[in-house]
Structure 1
């Protein structure tokens, strides 16, 4: 009996030694960031060393790089070790074109690429819908503010109240205000009289659903006479200007002789007060009448060849005169040849001013419309030059007997009446 026990113990010891010597201890599993021997080798791990976590990794030649992680709760992470959702992708996702799966309740939330609409679509449980940002029309029809002229100096002045239209309802737009002076403000109202005010007078930008609302501006007129401020209101991407200008002291209405000896003529093409000399070019005021000889001028340098295109338009004679006096009028003769009519006005120093200019076409129309009040124009058939070019060879002029305007050859000799602002 003792021999049998000894034999059993002996064989048990031998078996343990055999197993220990034949099967070495299980090596630790590779982990992300650990050393690896062979580039592009791929392994899947998960066991005692990583309880509840499985990793798919690839060797980059030196260390293991994590590709996919599975957690015990069923979450899967791609290029993340800590997935926070059933599928967590740490990077871009390419969604392929449709394979023809119909949208239904079991596909709700599914995504596909639509080559027809060139966008990602999502199944809402019934049909595939485009995924797009919600947009609205926040571009209003430009509000029109009535310019105000001949204002008293340093006077707080309100604009007209303007209805805002052309936008989608409940679509917000940023409302703001700026100006060349006058400390401008705006307010937003719910009615045409601003008895119900949504935003009180402010200079701040505000995001407002402006469709059907009313906006009003205010600013303080200049402390100087004959000075204009341009106030700009912006609603979304649209801006509108309101021009407010002071008059010459004691110088209204049109035809009034101002304290400096000029005559108020009306609004310029820039919607600012415009003044003229009492007499035509070449004449002077004697105290009771215009004396001296009226001068006639060519629009260019009286050249009939070598015409030069200046592209002066119809509204801003002050700018056009500056253009003309710095532009050669004759491409044949060397050097810079004058635009004589414009040069005369630019060189004029009269009534304490040296900022005279040749009026533009529309400004010349203002002079014609107020010719009786202004006085001392030739109304028997003669025409006056404007600074507006009509063509390469011609410029616009107006006959003060009947108001007829024509595009006459630039070498023609016509009258001129200089203006200023």
Structure 2
């Protein structure tokens, strides 16, 4: 081994530490889909380790160079197909895309084993072009991607015919990493540092592969290119950790602002949205409470009650627009913040709740709700900010309570429990 082989030891140490960290996070935070990141990072580490043994002997050179090429390819495939989601979330259509990786893998294997004759490369290129078109037809997707793949395979075959086998192999890697960069640019959450760093690193990594055959004959350029390549591997590793940390921060924020049972806004987020709506000078709230919800819990259990709340939340979600806010305040109480005519919104809500709801397999019920409304600034009593929120909720709650009392009096005339379900709670 020469001294240059130890220059990337810091990268290996950082990567090994990051893999250990990801393995710990995998057990504690399974929702972050860390498996794919470990898979991608693991192959980049294997690629770097194999580079330490390339110069030992001619036999080791062939074996380790082959391992390095194939590991780089598998890392690119992991970035392209699996990063950012759980393997269980991958559909059959997504797995069909993996057929595109087979000719690329064969291409790197052929070059790593130092097969320097055109026909195996041309055969891989032909197979790659056919597979890319076939997969696109099966998935019924846009023709842009297979056209780009066919162009890449044509370039790979042309390099092989001209005797530039190194360009054939490394253009294959460059194409995979360029596709991975584009794919992650659209897949990862917007406005995150990790996304920008990772995608830019993959593009630089891709450019290193595309230019490799041109800088390889020049020792100084090759040394500079290898340093850039190694730096990108380091940045990619750090970017993965940034993405996971940012994802965890978003998860925590969502948990703090969302009701865990229904996924709706909770009281904290409702107050923030209502404060913002009040600042515009006009808004309305609709507060509703399900009638007889306690009886469902007492008669059929809390699981049935939870299922009812989830279905009610789904129906109410269909009544609101993207500009409006639907929140669950707790128990069976919901609130809508809207700029629409409150009577129109009330009618939409009543219509949504009027349809029968199936709980389990054999329990069908019809629910109704007591509703109270308030309008800003009419019902805010000249107040603003937190005081206005309190006044609006008080007005809406008083209306709701009065209507619930009237419903209770009417319900008292019903003595048969079965009749109760037929008429609605």
TM over 0.5: no
Structure showing the higher helix proportion among its residues: 2
Report the TM-score, using the length of structure 1 for normalisation.
Answer: 0.18
Q: Which has the larger radius of gyration?
A: 1
Report the TM-score, using the length of structure 2 for normalisation.
Answer: 0.18
